[in-house]
Structure 1
Amino acid sequence: MLLRPTRWILALAAGCAGVLALVRAPAAADAPAVIRPYAVADTSCSPYEPTPTPDEVRPFVTQGKEPLCVAAADLDGDGRRDYVLVLGTRRKYTGQPYAGDGAAPDKDDLRTLLVLMRQPDGALRMGARTEHVAMCTECGGMMGDPFEGVGARPGSFTVHHYGGSAWRWRADYTFEYVAATGRWRLASVSTLSYWSPEPDKMESHVYTAPADFPEIDLTDFDYETWRGPDAEK
């Protein structure tokens, strides 16, 4: 029997989101600790184990949406805490899964992913926005909502999905920061599939750029079309 480990792994890491790094001055042993409020341990998040949304992130939550997932890390290597925020709605499975046949899902069902960057003055700025990375509520087939969360680490983050019915699948998209352009690009896609009665017969693939796909900017990525028109379905 195959378990779904991602949810509890993400939930365990999510509790680190409020950690502050303490740095003690070496010159004097009794000097007071210096608090660096923008340094933070890398964290992950899961919509199944939600954590409080930081006050500084709340202004980026758009009307009609709710924060499903907030992960923190130094995403661009400047030593400051940044965020990946996923907005959307939590809706029950309707029994009408999105077929991926060109008919777009309900506009209100699209999940918004924001990359929030820390500026030198400590303020947050939106570095990127997309509605085509975190899958929609109906995109998981009979398994329901496939979005499992985000894992953030220095210079990159991964968006996790799991879905299917008798035929199960995973799809995890990793994006990396490009210092030369100040943008994020698709670095790799990890997929897994198996027939639920035979979980020991899994098929897994890791696709990387540029061997398996051309350079794709985060804002140009689409989970339905990233492999191009000639890719096998």
Structure 2
Amino acid sequence: MVNKTKILSIAICSLLVVSFSGQNVFGYGGPPAQSSSGNYTIEIYSDEKSYNLGDSLVISGNVNKYSEDRSLQITIFDSQRSLILNEKFPVNSDTSFSHEIVLGDDFAEGEYTARAQYGSSKVTVEKFSFTVIAGDTIQESGTKIPDWIKSNAGWWADGQIDDSSFVQGIQFLIKDGLMVIPATEQGTSSDTNEIPDWIKQNARWWADGQIDDSSFVLGIQFLIKDGLMKISQ
């Protein structure tokens, strides 16, 4: 009877040793999940370290290998760890990527942290930081343009309104406060009164909603600086 008890005890101990050894080998009682996520790595860069409100943040970089089933996810948090932005975009088949983020109304002056993740595993996360400051941007200085003016800009771009009528109309709107643009130095009259084609193209894109108010105002500022448009002070 004693021998049987000893044999039973030895057998139980052997089972326990094998069991604990297995846990040490596999980790927490089982084999690890088979996932290729941990094999993906990211190199990511921002074009600047500091930006003005309204600027565009351009991020670019590479992943170590391409997967058509994966997207690169960018999340941006402010200094209070509040989520400001969450976007996904594809990676090129050559493993490179580039993405532009406009630092618009969702952003304010301060420090931000961006997280880039390729796939679902936390192993694939990379971070970088950047600063947003208040600068002399068009957005900050108060660009304000009524929507109905877009129709006039479109007619001008299509040749239904001549250059002189368009310029006079813009001058009237600015004088009456219906269009607010940043302070711009008045230039002297140029040798030619011809308005560059790129400004007319900007007006067409603006009327079609392809560019924002600030981009259109750049063209108006050019007319003022080049002396093609006179603004009463």
TM-score by shorter chain over 0.5 = no
User: Which has the larger share of strand?
Assistant: 1
State the structure with more CA Rg: 2
Compare the two structures and name the one with the higher helix fraction.
2
Q: TM-score range by the shorter chain?
A: under 0.3
